[in-house]
Amino acid sequence: MKVTPDSLGITPENIIYWGLHLDDDVPLSKQTEALKEDLAQIKCPHEHLLDIGWYPSYSPEGFFGIVVAKTNNWGSPVYRKKAHCIETLRDAVRDAMKVAS
């Protein structure tokens, strides 16, 4: 199953950028070409932005970074979490959206 904005609880009108093209049914180690630093950016309420990336890019040993910042203040995010699989990515994105609301 493809990872979609809907599967992460994200409404399409809030998407600034979507480059998260992964499949739940395929191991991440077989999808390294899609594991990059800029995967998604989403507008949230109260001038918050949610950013999702993979660090380091293209590395099967990396992790998803999920960050929420207010008014582009990336130096002092209000939420930061790492995830190593799509399942924990989903949980982290849901938590991040609650923080940003």
Domain ranges of the chain: 6-100
> Looking at the predicted structure, is the pLDDT value of residue 72 above 90?
no
pLDDT of the residue at 35: 97
Whole-number average pLDDT of the chain: 95
> Looking at the predicted structure, is the pLDDT value of residue 40 above 90?
yes
pLDDT of the residue at 15: 96
Please state, in angstroms and rounded to a whole number, the distance separating the CA atoms of residues 86 and 27.
10
Averaged pLDDT for residues 14-39: 96
pLDDT of the residue at 101: 86
Calculate the CA dihedral of residues 56, 79, 15, 90 and round it to 10 degrees: 70
Is the separation of the CB atoms in 85 and 99 below 8 Å?
Answer: no
> Looking at the predicted structure, is the pLDDT value of residue 95 above 90?
yes
